[in-house]
Amino acid sequence: MNRKRQKTLNETFDDAPSGEAAEQFIEGTELETPTTETEIPRISRVMQMMVSKRNAKEALKRVLHNKGAAGIDGMTVEQLPAYLKMHWQRIRQELLEGRYKPQPLRRVEIPKPGGGMRKLGIPTVLDRFIQQAMQQILQGYFDQTFSKSSYGFRPRRSAHQAVWQAQQYVGSGLRWVVDIDLEKFFDRVNHDILMGLLASRIEDRNALKLVRSYLKSGVLEDGLVQPTTEGQPQGGPLSPLLSNVMLDVLDKELERRGHKFVRYADDCNVYVASKRAGDRVMEAITKFLERKLKLRVNKEKSAVDRPSRRKFLGFSISTQQEPKRRIAPQSVARLKKRVREFTRKTKAMKLEMIIGALRRYLLGWKAYFGFCETPSVLQKLDRWIRRRLRRFIWLQWRRGHKRFTELIKRGVSRDLALQTIGNPHGAWHLSNSPALSIALPNKYFKELGLPQLAA
């Protein structure tokens, strides 16, 4: 962290009182003593710990780091420290006395990877800060009692670990998967059930009141505040933890029944030895979710099938003797769609800018999907991406004279250049021609900064 930001964090809460008990607790986010399933601790003094100087400073640090858009009040992340310096004493007192009222969320819709739109609720930056402070306290208490088969939004756990565990189950002989897709999970979380689960662990009434107020804060849409009577808005720091609290009930039921499963947020896969067993599990879990949590299973998207034919966190798992992690076809298709957007012929951008944008996207994609065990797929994608770029450049050259000049300048023989220009086939066909491979070799794209997925 740079010195300027550290100074900002130090100064923001300089005048805030610090409770000794709360400060002693905020050494990390772990319980002071181990717990067992039969001895789950109840939490008191949540609000005192939440507004402690150390916890507030850490929450502000994370909100500043995560950045993000403004809420309905227009306040930016950069403006938050100055606002807190002036108003934190009042806000702190309102929180401790149970008088704080969150503002409604700002509705934002983003495209889902598989099609359709996902509705997000963007809190104000102040409410993001308060939610982050609450999350830091509750995470440590709840996390140690969550299932070992839950991987989403938890410290020191990742999607890669979840995929690896699924691969181990398939390798152990469980060659069928019960792929459970919850229908609009975040929109259908039952507030009373969720609050009941929280109340079974939290004794601090003002903390429970604050969580419920966030669930019911409403959403500003088309100029009107729409009330929220069910559902859990996505977009705030508290949302992932609350989803794990809710779905931990499912985890515990699957454990009680002795199933091998992996859950990441609302994606849950149960691994079984036969289709018949999978059908029984699907029926039983569907009934359990509807009865116990008032949640529905999306029957169109859920299935009992081979892991090689299902997608889990962007991957599929082969069912050969030694199962391999493969990139799911849908994930490959999304990458190709994105690359086409970067390299479409109407793109009025310089090649260097396009490769710069591609670089940022591909490095992130590689960091995640490079976890696959099928390098041949990555090699094919590398060849395909370079071909798209050759096509783009060929179209940029446009006229025959320009194309001839560029080919000759780049080492193509006169005869081959004339033959290529006179070829009646389209740009995609010619992008794979010997002339363009000579003029625009792999080395050329590497020097421009294009990363290789298979490297």
Rounded to an integer, the average pLDDT of 271-280 is: 97
pLDDT of residue 120: 82
pLDDT of residue 3: 65
The pLDDT tens digits of the residues spanning 80-99 come to 999 999 999 999 999 999 99
List all residues 6 or more positions away from 439 whose beta carbon is below 8 Å from its beta carbon. 406, 407, 410, 411, 412
pLDDT above 60 for 414: yes
Least confident of 105-109, 419-423, 441-445: 105-109
Rounded to the nearest integer, the mean pLDDT of the chain is: 90
The pLDDT tens digits of the residues spanning 351-362 come to 999 999 999 999
Q: How far is CA 392 from the centre of its chain?
A: 32
pLDDT of residue 38: 45
Rounded to an integer, the average pLDDT of 410-438 is: 96
Nearest 5°: phi and psi at 106? -100, 125
3-state secondary structure of 412: coil
CA atoms of 234 and 257, how far apart (whole Å): 31
Task: Please report, in angstroms and rounded to a whole number, the separation of the first and last CA atoms in the chain.
Answer: 32
With a pLDDT cut of 90, the percent of the chain lying above it is 77
pLDDT of residue 231: 81
The pLDDT tens digits of the residues spanning 300-311 come to 999 999 999 999
pLDDT of residue 14: 66
Measured CA to CA in angstroms, residue 441 lies from 5, 126, 355, 410, 433 at distances of 45, 52, 15, 10, 11
Instruction: Identify residue 97 by its one-letter amino acid code.
Output: E
Contact assessment for residue 292 and residue 251, using Cβ atoms and an 8 Å cutoff: no
Instruction: Identify residue 453 by its one-letter amino acid code.
Output: L
The pLDDT tens digits of the residues spanning 116-158 come to 677 788 999 999 999 999 999 999 889 999 999 999 999 999 9
Q: State the residue for tokens 């949640």.
A: 295
pLDDT above 50 for 37: no
pLDDT above 90 for 392: yes
CA atoms of 425 and 431, how far apart (whole Å): 10
Q: Is the pTM here over 0.85, yes or no?
A: yes
pLDDT of residue 73: 93
**pLDDT level of residue 43 (50, 70, 90 thresholds):** confident
pLDDT of residue 31: 40
pLDDT of residue 33: 39
pLDDT of residue 196: 96
Contact assessment for residue 182 and residue 266, using Cβ atoms and an 8 Å cutoff: yes
Contact assessment for residue 84 and residue 13, using Cβ atoms and an 8 Å cutoff: yes
DSSP string, 121-167: EE--HHHHHHHHHHHHHHHHHHHTTS-TTB-TT-TT--HHHHHHHHH
**pLDDT level of residue 28 (50, 70, 90 thresholds):** very low
DSSP string, 77-132: GGGHHHHHHHHHHHHHHHHHHT---PPPEEEEEEE-TTSSEEEEEE--HHHHHHHH
Quote the DSSP letter at residue 183.
T
pLDDT of residue 17: 60
Rounded to an integer, the average pLDDT of 167-175 is: 96
The count of other CB atoms within 10 Å of the CB of residue 338 is 15
Q: How many CA atoms lie within 13 A of 213 on its CB side?
A: 16
C-alpha angle 277-278-279 in degrees, rounded to nearest 5 = 90
Residue 117 β-bridge partners? 111
